[in-house]
Structure 1
Amino acid sequence: MPLLDLDRLTAGLSTTWSSYLRDWDRTLRSGNHPETTRYNYLLAAAQLARYLEEYSPDPDADAAAADPTLVSRAHVEAFQAWMIQTRSASTALNKHKALQQFFKWLELDEGDIDASPMRRVRQPRVDKKLVPVIGDADTAKVLDTCKTHRISQSSQSSTSSTNGEKRFIQLRDEAIIRLYYNTGARLSEVANLGVDDLDMSTETAMLHGKGGKQRRVRFGPKTARALSRYLRARAQCVGADLSHLWLASRGKRHLAANVTGVHAHRWRHNFAHEWKLGGGDTGDLMLLMGWTSEEMARHYGASAAAERAQQIHARMGVGERV
């Protein structure tokens, strides 16, 4: 099932809002924007429309809920405040950036508004929080839940097909986790992998990053074995879309492993931390991670910067030579 389902995304919106969002999506598609970007942009606009209809205290919100050309600066600011209250400041910031693009399109491409209501709306201030890395110990706990020997512990009432599905999901999840941990790839980059993106002979994967940028990354022998086992099991699936790499339902390995805060970006932060800790070059790290700004290199792994500094301090022996 595709990520972007316009019928579902625009369900319940006015005919005018729905029409504009479908036209905007056509413009985004013609500009070769990836599906994840289109989805996030359109979702923000749809959420604004639903907020105006269901939650806004403004007396003129009904008109704006029916027609996006009637949205005002006050409507957007109230929506941002609501997003901060019900979600987070970082989520509100993402919605702000998406709405900037929507109203810019309404103004410049469509010519249906004289000025964007976003022009004087300030971006939400987001406190920078350190994201803790997820190291070997916690990763090992999560991977342990993927061990296929656990199937033998299933109750005798379980059917062979149920056992087979459990084994398949375990093989798939181990391959996904190892790929995240081994490459530091973004969640979307791993999630959107196709079978043809893997080259098992060279143990590399072609990642499709932001802005349509591609890069090839290597993975190690353990990840290669996990992928190979998964591919063999996957080949037995009948009627599946064999162009897309990952099949079946989503798992919740962190619950079984009793590890909190497990998500792909923690392994991405960990990759940057381990790279810097091992003395890796920042420029090479940027190439591997798909970054164009050194600011991103400083941001990722920042939560472990103090640990790196302490280890270097101990190794250098500053203040211990006399």
Structure 2
Amino acid sequence: MLADYATHLRASNNKRGRPYAEKTVTAYTKAARTLDRWLGTSPQVSASQTAPAHGVGLGVAQPASFLDCDAQVLNVFFRAHYDGGEGERQGGTHTLQRNLRPFFKWLSEEYDHPNPYDDPKLQRYAHPTDVRPTTLSEEFIHDLLQITGGGNPRVRAFEKVRDHAIIRVLTEGLRAEELLSLRLDTLHLEQGLIGPVTPLKEARASGEGRFIPLQPKTVLAITRYLRARDGHKRASDPWLWLGTRGRDRLSYSGLYRMLNRRAADAGYGNPDNPESKSIVHPHQFRHTFADDLLSAGVSEGDVMQVAGWKDSTMLRRYAADMASSRAHAAVKRMGDRY
């Protein structure tokens, strides 16, 4: 059933009339697999049980398949996910609930299964509005750059040169998916540009996208990486970022592990310790990018243009972490007013 669902997603368009991105297909099918695992292992849904904190008397037998799931069963599932810490916070359960919605719509269309999302008894988990994205300190980014060679031209090791260039490009505000989708033909180093980068979900048509201006040190880091890349056995591949030990393009998990390994090398925790695996997340560089530009006096409209945001809501959210600091600095720059 899940294989059929994934095929359906890849053959369908989203609500904007665009094909689903593979990352979206993965997220939607992962949500359904999470429910599938719970159905097979959870003992807490029974005819006599009441959903924790919801007061929902199920009155149904232990569900054996997706087609046994109604609003009451999903209420117990989502609460178990929330209480079990898998959702990390309300936002994680909200994302899971949102990503399962297309699956139950598909079940309704293909199997004539009543859609529990149409039932007003389904408990909703809202996305938290008070969670601020965190920025990275200047010292932390500097340490990552230093531990990967500091831009020293004498450093020739492929992995160090590549990692240094990747960290430099992340400081330019690209999303992880955009960075990983870069190809050799998206480089315009003579003009100090990369682009067009992978467009947003709202703009995935051919020819759409945006160009990213690069700092001079980023251009230099990419140039040195290209020289090191020439000796890679997959050098003829079109993708910019190649894996180590002769492997092909870098994956998201590879990017995530690389950043946390480099952070550990720089003294920020131990990636082999489960409690310190999430030292840094690739998207934090994007938060920091927004703060850096606003702190430098770049207008909100220009930041939105470079970052690829069509709505200022995201700009305000990404820049919220350091808003007070920027406001204080702006007032101090005024000096004596009277």
Please classify the TM superposition score into its range, dividing by the shorter chain length: 0.7 to 0.9
2:39 and 2:2 map into 1 onto residues whose CA distance is: 12
Q: Is the 8 A contact 2:149 2:160 kept in 1?
A: yes
2:134 and 2:64 map into 1 onto residues whose CA distance is: 45
AA aligned to 1:186 is R
Aligned to 1:175: 165
- Please state if 1:255 is matched with 2:264: yes
* Alpha-carbon spacing, 1:239–1:286, altered in 2? closer, same or farther (3 Å): closer
1:57 and 1:297 map into 2 onto residues whose CA distance is: 42
2:293 and 2:162 map into 1 onto residues whose CA distance is: 26
Aligned to 2:114: 114
Aligned to 1:7: none
- Please state if 1:243 is matched with 2:238: yes
- Please state if 1:192 is matched with 2:173: no
- What is the RMSD computed on CA atoms of the aligned residues? 2.7
- Please state if 1:40 is matched with 2:27: yes
**CA deviation vs aligned residue, 1:183-206 (integer Å, no higher than 9, x gap):** 111111112222222222222112
Secondary structure (helix, strand or coil) at the match of 1:63 reads coil
Q: Is the 8 A contact 1:52 1:75 kept in 2?
A: no
1:149 and 1:33 map into 2 onto residues whose CA distance is: 39
Q: Is the 8 A contact 1:24 1:105 kept in 2?
A: no
Counterpart among 210, 216, 222 of residue 221 in structure 1: 216
* Alpha-carbon spacing, 1:219–1:133, altered in 2? closer, same or farther (3 Å): same
Aligned-residue offset at 1:299? 0.5
1:25 and 1:77 map into 2 onto residues whose CA distance is: 29
Q: Structure 1, unaligned stretches of length 5 or more? A: 1-15, 153-162
* Alpha-carbon spacing, 1:266–1:76, altered in 2? closer, same or farther (3 Å): same
Counterpart among 73, 76, 79 of residue 77 in structure 2: 79
AA aligned to 1:76 is L
Aligned to 2:319: 301
Aligned to 1:147: 149
* Alpha-carbon spacing, 1:188–1:56, altered in 2? closer, same or farther (3 Å): farther
- Give the number of the structure with larger relative contact order, counting CA–CA contacts within 8 Å between residues 6 or more apart: 1
AA aligned to 1:205 is I
Q: Is the 8 A contact 2:78 2:93 kept in 1?
A: yes
**CA deviation vs aligned residue, 1:247-280 (integer Å, no higher than 9, x gap):** 1253211101123632222221111112111222
Q: Is the 8 A contact 1:184 1:271 kept in 2?
A: yes
Aligned to 1:315: 333
AA aligned to 1:220 is Q
* Alpha-carbon spacing, 1:114–1:177, altered in 2? closer, same or farther (3 Å): same
Aligned-residue offset at 1:72? 1.4
Aligned-residue offset at 1:179? 0.3
Q: Is the 8 A contact 1:194 1:243 kept in 2?
A: yes
1:224 and 1:288 map into 2 onto residues whose CA distance is: 17
Secondary structure (helix, strand or coil) at the match of 1:86 reads coil
**Aligned residue pairs: how many?**
287
Counterpart among 265, 272, 297 of residue 283 in structure 2: 265
Aligned to 2:130: 128
Q: Is the 8 A contact 1:61 1:75 kept in 2?
A: no
- Please state if 1:19 is matched with 2:4: yes
Aligned-residue offset at 1:110? 3.0
Aligned-residue offset at 1:36? 1.1
**CA deviation vs aligned residue, 1:258-317 (integer Å, no higher than 9, x gap):** 236322222211111121112222122112111122111110121100001111221234
What TM-score comes out, normalization by structure 2 length? 0.76
Secondary structure (helix, strand or coil) at the match of 2:211 reads strand
Aligned to 2:101: 100
Aligned to 1:5: none
Q: Is the 8 A contact 1:195 1:243 kept in 2?
A: yes
Moved more, 214-223 or 236-245: 236-245
Aligned to 1:285: 303
AA aligned to 1:185 is L
Q: Is the 8 A contact 2:2 2:29 kept in 1?
A: no
AA aligned to 1:285 is V
What TM-score comes out, normalization by structure 1 length? 0.80
Aligned to 2:229: 234
Moved more, 169-178 or 16-25: 16-25
